[in-house]
């Protein structure tokens, strides 16, 4: 109820400023254990049922997608909303500004967003510092990693290997982002000529870190919703061949199918309700292609309990939200958990 009052006020701000304000506020709450407990009590999210995936134990099936907390500023406070896991990032090796503003647009009639942020962030060293210290009990923490904008595609593996070195000791899992539409050329890494080699390099670096630390961190790969069946089949072959631990399906889409908002002409990746069916089709296709051999995190258009249930029915083991949190508010997590358990 409170969010229904606050949302019109937040929506008077430009989307990026509103997001920064919300994240800063929740980050401040997360720094004070007593305030975190108050937030948890206020949202009244049920605990949900634990689920095993990627060799990890998740306290429930609902997570926060990468992109919401790029620099690890607010994850402790966000955990108080009832999330079973939170994926920070996308993190690049060094700080970079991303694309020029404006670069984030609301499509309220579609309950969707378009972003062309381009991996803005403070870089790996800063985020690593933000992840140090105690965690909320039971929370699974993922880190989404991506290449520097200026790194040639042919040399991208070195960026991902560097990020594995930094975050393997800190994260519960790593998600390899090769599917954002907002970094020039990045999606080429999903192609037959690149993906197997890149993932093999990442897994090898993860294994080297595991040999030193004694802890094996699962590696996931995040795919685009715009791959056709042939491209998905090639990606599935690469994923299985490289011994990756799981898939995140999907990232944002460049398609504007079904979008009638005038801001739909903006370049960038579309998320939210307008992406939902497309993302679910990809979840189902990947599940079939890999024969259920790997767990899938279903993300894209999870705006409520029915959307989450749809992703699970298509073959996902876990779901993530992002744009749904913008439009539906912090009570969304509890609403979903009451339906799916």
C-beta of residue 254 within 8 angstroms of C-beta of residue 181: yes
Percent helix / strand / coil, the chain, rounded to 5: 45, 20, 40
d(CA 100, CA 67): 17
C-beta of residue 54 within 8 angstroms of C-beta of residue 246: yes
Q: What backbone torsions phi and psi does residue 101 show, to the nearest 5 degrees?
A: -80, 155
Strand partners, 176: 145, 221
Q: What backbone torsions phi and psi does residue 29 show, to the nearest 5 degrees?
A: -65, -40
* Catalytic residue chosen out of the listed positions 17, 180, 213, 271: 180
d(CA 45, CA 80): 9
Residue 85 contacts by C-beta under 8 Å, 6 or more apart in sequence? 58, 63, 64, 139, 140, 141, 142, 172, 318
Tokens of 159: 């960026």
How many other CB atoms are there within 10 angstroms of residue 5's CB atom? Answer: 8
Q: Nearest to residue 293, comparing CAs of 225, 241, 229, 215?
A: 241
> Could you confirm whether 180 is annotated as catalytic?
yes
d(CA 22, CA 121): 17
Q: Which residues are the active-site residues?
A: 180
């Amino acid at each position: 109820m409170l969010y229904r009052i606050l949302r019109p006020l937040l929506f008077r701000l430009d989307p990026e400023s509103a997001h920064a304000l919300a994240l800063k506020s929740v980050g401040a709450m997360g720094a004070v254990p007593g305030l975190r407990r108050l937030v948890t009590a206020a949202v009244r999210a049920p605990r949900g049922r634990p689920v095993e995936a990627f060799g990890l134990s998740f306290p429930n099936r609902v997570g926060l997608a990468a992109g919401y907390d790029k620099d690890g500023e607010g994850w402790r406070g966000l955990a108080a909303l009832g999330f079973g896991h939170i994926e920070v990032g996308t993190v690049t090796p060094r700080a970079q500004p991303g694309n020029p503003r404006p670069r984030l647009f609301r499509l309220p009639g579609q309950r969707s967003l378009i972003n062309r942020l381009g991996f803005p962030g403070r870089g790996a060293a800063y985020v690593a510092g933000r992840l140090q210290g105690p965690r909320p009990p039971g929370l699974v923490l993922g880190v989404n990693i991506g290449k520097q904008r200026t790194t040639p595609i042919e040399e991208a593996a070195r960026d991902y290997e560097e990020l594995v070195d930094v975050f393997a000791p800190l994260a519960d899992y790593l998600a390899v982002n090769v599917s954002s539409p907002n970094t020039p050329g990045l999606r080429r890494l999903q192609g037959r000529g690149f993906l197997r080699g890149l993932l093999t390099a990442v897994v090898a670096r993860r294994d080297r870190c595991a040999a030193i630390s004694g802890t094996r961190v699962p590696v996931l790969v995040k795919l685009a919703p715009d791959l056709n069946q042939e491209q998905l089949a090639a990606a599935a072959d690469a994923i299985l061949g490289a011994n990756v631990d799981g898939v995140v399906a999907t990232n944002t889409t460049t398609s504007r199918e079904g979008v009638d908002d005038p801001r739909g002409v903006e370049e960038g990746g579309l998320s939210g309700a307008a992406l939902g069916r497309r993302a679910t089709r990809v979840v189902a296709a990947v599940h079939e292609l890999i024969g259920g051999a790997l767990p899938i995190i279903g993300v894209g258009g999870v705006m409520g309990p029915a959307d989450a249930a749809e992703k699970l029915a298509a073959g996902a083991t876990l779901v993530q939200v992002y744009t749904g949190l913008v439009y539906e508010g912090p009570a969304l997590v509890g609403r979903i958990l009451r339906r799916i358990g």
